[in-house]
Structure 1
Amino acid sequence: MAAVDDILQNLPIDQLAQQVGADPQEVQQAAQAALPALLGGLQANAQGGGAGSLLEALGQHTDDVDPSQVDPADGQQIASHIFGSNEEQVYSALGGTGASSGLIKKLIPILAPIVLSYLANKVLKGGGGGGMATQQTAPTDSSAQGGPGSLESMLQDVLGGALGGGTAQQTPAPQTQSTGGGILGGILGGLLGGGRR
């Protein structure tokens, strides 16, 4: 859950609320539901030989992201790639967590590039800008020093740590006890075990 917490901490919730035309508290709740789903989808994409493709995508998103500058069409393409044919099911299920599915559909295309940037900072740059625009800059070509095997391992570690029992708000262990975690766990379980490709 550290990744979700890191990203949430750095999200300009008030700015996002204005951007999507919603109350900041609703945006916070929607982001708390959407981020684990995005990370779970990315973890599903990284399995079964997909880590190389995901690392390539991360290499294209090494710059920090200013949410007000996100191209929603690009963000939607990223979300469509992350969730594949499960995209509408994910939106519907996330709507069942208390956040409106309309808000989720507006927010995920903004959050998707932020999540990729966050992962790129963690995996390729070995640091953490949280995916938000900062003053830090680092050369992108220096990221390959560890070799593909170690980058794939780091990617799996970051994604695995992001989902390690933290998708339900107050459930430190498995997600089966919490209704919100159960819904989200079902989504992620479907993505992780569904072999979408």
Structure 2
Amino acid sequence: MSEIDDLMAHLPMDQIAARLGVDPAQAEQSTRTVLPALLGGLQANAQDPAGAQSLAGALQQHDPSLLGSGLDRVDENDGQAIVGNIFGQHTDSVASRLGSVGGAGGSGIVQQLLPLLAPYVMAYLARRLSGTGGLGGILGGALGGAGGGVQPASGGVGDVLGGVLGQVLGGAGQAAPTSSSTSSGAPGGILGDLLGGLLGGGKRA
């Protein structure tokens, strides 16, 4: 099972489908398109030292117990803030580009999904990082490479977070359904364009 599949298994897809007003199959397709963009945006932010510190601090505020819980526990205002921090002024452009991916369901669905999924993504990353000696250990021992599970050469916060995000992303570009994608609108290509063209190498925390 891929990391994306593992994260998907912790999402209340029936509730998400009902919230979006679509069938579960469409909700799953759309979710598999949106998740890599959120993770990729966080990974881009982690490449910047200030962004990495900010992300690590934000992850400390997110409870891994959200995973497996229903939408009633999701703070959509928090979700909107997370999305804003990741994509900033490019949020609408990101939603438009992702919505154009075959099977994504359009930008309207993507706009609704982003704040719903963002808290789950943060909770999932917080859980993953708990296996590297804890977020506190990552922050406190960044210069000494204190993180246990993911050991980048420099040991910095950005390296630790980037390493974990890279593992979670894995084959994320292939995780989204491609049966109705075109070569110009494939999820992996869209994700690369978003990160390279819109985020500019991770300038936000």
Q: CA deviation at 1:12?
A: 2.0
Offset of residue 77 of structure 1? 1.2
Q: Determine the C-alpha separation between the residues in 1 that align with 2:194 and 2:13.
A: 25
**TM superposition shift of 1:158:** 1.1
Equivalent residue number for residue 187 of structure 1: 194
In structure 2, relative to structure 1, the CA distance for the partners of 1:80 and 1:142 (3 Å cut) is: closer
Q: Is the 8 A contact 2:43 2:202 kept in 1?
A: no
Count matched residues. 178
Q: Partner of 1:162 in structure 2?
A: 168
Q: Give the distance between the partners of 1:8 and 1:195, measured in 2 at CA.
A: 25
Q: Offset of 1:64 from its aligned partner?
A: 2.1
CA contact (8 A) 1:17 1:23 kept: yes
How far residue 168 of structure 1 moved from its aligned partner, in angstroms, is: 3.0
The answer on 1:91 being equivalent to 2:98 is no
SS of the aligned residue for 2:173 comes to: coil
Corresponding residue of 2:180 = none
Q: Report the equivalent of 1:145.
A: 137
Q: CA RMSD in A?
A: 2.6
Q: Is the 8 A contact 1:39 1:159 kept in 2?
A: yes
Identity level (%):
47
Q: Does the 8 Å contact 1:40/1:192 carry over to 2?
A: no
**CA apart distance, 1:143:** 4.3
- How far is the alpha carbon of 1:155 from its aligned partner? 1.4
Residue among 126, 133, 148 paired with 1:120? 126
Q: Corresponding residue for 1:78?
A: 82
Question: Residues 126, 55 of structure 1: CA spacing in aligned structure 2 closer, same or farther, 3 A cutoff?
Answer: same
Change (3 A) 1:91 1:115: same
Q: CA deviation at 1:75?
A: 0.9
TM-score where L is the length of structure 1: 0.79
Aligned-pair CA distance for 1:55 = 0.3
Give the Cα–Cα distance (whole angstroms) in 2 for the partners of residues 155 and 194 of structure 1.
Answer: 15
Give the 3 Å change call, closer, same or farther, for CA 67–170 of structure 1 in structure 2: closer
User: Is the counterpart of residue 31 in structure 1 residue 47 in structure 2?
Assistant: no
Shift of 1:43: 0.8
Query: Corresponding residue for 1:102?
Result: 108
2-structure distance, mates of 1:170, 1:145 = 34
Gaps of 5+ in 1: 128-140, 172-176
- Deviant stretches of 4+, over 4 Å: none
